[in-house]
Amino acid sequence: MLFSCIKAEQMKLKRSFIWIAFFLLPLIPAFMGMNNYLNNLKILTSDWYSLWTQETLFYSNFFFAPMAAIYCAYLWRVENFNHNRNSLMTMPVPVSCVFTGKVLSAFSMVILTQIWVGVLFVLTGKMAGLPGLPPVLIYIWLARGLLGALAVTALQCVLSMVIRSFALPVGIAAIGSITGLIAVSTKGGYFYPYSLMIYGMNANQTDDLLGDTLTLFLVSSVVYTLLFIAAGILILKKRDVKA
């Protein structure tokens, strides 16, 4: 049942406008970061690590959460209009599969986005004249960011289900990004979902943000992901279908 739900959600993504956002939005932090790097070569002397600090400064802190929100809002867009929520609830499919399928489908877009961000990082690095390829540790940070990203994706799926608007959940994600950055600076980010992506990506840092707190990061990411998925399933089961 779950795989059928995922397949149905993937069909929505084909030939949809979100691919425009997928390709174009990551270009902004990539080239803004490269420009910052090139304009500050006297103080940014760690080559690939320095470029990473500049590109993740924009991507992880400001662009990622709204992009995840766009993916989630799009997947709920069909059900949020023209009484389609009623049709969804009468389908012979467990509610748990319906919601989890949406989360995993949105997360598949997030995975592709991370890969695209990685490609852009290498391209902008070569354009900036950096030698060789990025250190392996940067690829680890890129993959590690997915753990925090999954929690944000699950949260945004809940918001897009509850708020029958495309723009509002995206706006909430943008605010969440800013407040997430503040939470990281106060060391409370491990308990704030929007900060987890920043920690995972080691955003704007050359030294590992996590250090000996990796376990706390992993636990927080898993707990928040399971919590939001469980909440989404419960809300979808209990909430009255609006006409």
* % of the chain surpassing 70 pLDDT: 94
Closest CA to 151 of 101, 99, 103: 103
> 86 falls in which pLDDT band (50, 70, 90)?
low
Closest CA to 53 of 72, 70, 40, 71: 40
Closest CA to 59 of 30, 19, 34: 30
Cα radius of gyration (the chain): 19
Residue with tokens 């927080």: 220
Domain residue extents for the chain? 17-238
> pLDDT value at position 238?
85
Average pLDDT over residues 79-96: 74
> pLDDT value at position 71?
97
Evaluate if residue 89 carries a pLDDT over 80.
no
pLDDT, tens digit (0-9, with 9 covering 90-100), for 206-239: 888 898 899 999 999 999 999 999 999 999 988 6
* % of the chain surpassing 90 pLDDT: 77
> pLDDT value at position 243?
41
| Coil, strand or helix at 216 | helix
Evaluate if residue 26 carries a pLDDT over 80.
yes
> Do the beta carbons of residue 235 and residue 89 sit within 8 Å?
no
